[in-house]
Amino acid sequence: MHPLFEMDQYLIQEKFWKFFGGKFWFKDMEGNIVAYCKQKAFKLKEDITLFSDESCTTALLNIKARNVIDFSATYDIIDVASGQILGSAQRKGLKSILKDTWKLLDVNGNQYGEMIEDSNALIRRFVPFGKWIPARYHMEIPGTAEITLNQLFNPFIRRTVVTIPQGHQIDRRVLAGIALLNAAIEGRQSS
């Protein structure tokens, strides 16, 4: 198992200047790179791959949109080594305009939880300088402690801390996929 999938806390850092596609570094809390993603630009259908490092030789996860254009898009999170779908995340279309909300789906498409934005999405998206307001999310999975994704304040470099309560039962690969997907979409919305 890759070290990223055993961590209780890590940081996702986005590339500062991005003209064509995004770059994301997964780092431990000491700043060491533990995984990397270089998102391809101009893709009609979202296809994001997380690699073990910047050499991009060992793919860990793949996140694929099921449809080209879909307001309530569903993204499958796939373990590259086995080709197995681990779970999915489905954006709640209209509800996500006011407050970004995602359904967390198991391999059979059954909802087992939600990821909900705690920050004010309208201000962050539509008010000048609103993109400087850090985004905050939490995951609600019945019977478990909350997982949080908290963006650190920095108007130039977007960094998000992912915190998982110790011993939480969520598949850490699915969580890493959802956190990466969220970072990619957040980055696109505030560009």
Would the pLDDT of 20 be above 80? Answer: no
Residue ranges with strand state E in the chain:
9-14, 23-27, 33-38, 47-51, 59-65, 74-79, 85-91, 101-105, 111-117, 136-140, 147-152, 159-163
> How far is the C-alpha of 27 from the C-alpha of 176, rounded, in Å?
12
pLDDT: which is higher, 136 or 44:
136
Q: How many CB atoms lie within 10 A of CB 177?
A: 26
pLDDT: which is higher, 128 or 103:
103
pLDDT value of position 149 = 95
158 within 8 A of 25, measured Cβ to Cβ:
no
Number of separate domains in the chain = 1
Q: How many CB atoms lie within 10 A of CB 7?
A: 18
Burial class for 141, CB neighbours closer than 10 Å (0-12, 13-18, 19+):
middle
CATH code for the domain in which residue 131 is found: 3.20.90
pTM: 0.88
Give the rounded percent of residues in the chain with a pLDDT score beyond 90.
57
- Own/partner contacts of 14-23, CB < 8 Å, gap of 24 or more, are 14/157, 14/158, 14/159, 14/183, 14/187, 16/156, 16/157, 18/187, 18/191, 22/183, 22/184, 22/187, 22/188
pLDDT value of position 24 = 94
Q: Which domain holds residue 94?
A: 3-189
Confidence grade of residue 44 (pLDDT, cut at 50, 70, 90): low
pLDDT value of position 16 = 65
Phi, psi of 184 (to 5 degrees): -65, -45
Confidence grade of residue 133 (pLDDT, cut at 50, 70, 90): confident
> How far is the C-alpha of 57 from the C-alpha of 121, rounded, in Å?
36
Query: What are 152-183's pLDDT values in tens digits?
Result: 877 778 899 999 999 898 999 999 999 999 88
pLDDT value of position 147 = 96
